[in-house]
């Protein structure tokens, strides 16, 4: 298993409850074939550039161990989840 870090930016117009549901959804997905080490909710931050007519986004950073096959599935689910504006997943050394 490799170590990864994944950052997602959630649409700021969602409620706090909807944010928690999204965070829990991806924590559970990662735990199906890996192990979440840390979930850091950075909160509402100003974006470097406008995304979907928003100037702010709710940042969440996941640090986890997983098999490489999980990353493709994780990013697929990121793409189809309403409320996720941007994401990136990188392998840590």
- What average pLDDT does this structure show over 38-51? 93
In a domain, 39, yes or no: yes
Please report which confidence band the pLDDT of residue 33 belongs to, taking 50, 70 and 90 as the band edges: confident
In a domain, 6, yes or no: no
Question: Which pLDDT score, from 0 to 100, does residue 93 have?
Answer: 81
Domain that holds residue 79: 15-58+66-87
- What average pLDDT does this structure show over 73-92? 93
In a domain, 5, yes or no: no
Q: What CATH number has the domain bearing residue 74?
A: 3.30.70.60
Question: Which pLDDT score, from 0 to 100, does residue 89 have?
Answer: 94
SS (H, E, C) the chain: CEEEEEEEEECCCCCHHHHHHHHHHHHHHHHHHEEEEEEEEEEEEEEEEEECCEEEEEEEEEEEEECHHHHHHHHHHHHHCCCEEEEEEEECC
In a domain, 51, yes or no: yes
């Amino acid at each position: 298993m490799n170590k990864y870090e994944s950052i997602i930016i959630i649409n700021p117009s969602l409620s706090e409850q909807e944010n928690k549901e999204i965070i829990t959804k991806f924590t559970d997905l990662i735990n199906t074939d890996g192990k979440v080490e840390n979930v850091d909710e950075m909160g509402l931050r100003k974006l470097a550039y406008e995304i979907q007519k928003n100037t702010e986004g709710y940042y969440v950073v996941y640090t986890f161990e997983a098999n490489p096959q999980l990353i493709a599935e994780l990013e697929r689910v990121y793409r189809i989840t309403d409320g996720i504006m941007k994401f990136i997943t990188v392998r840590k050394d």
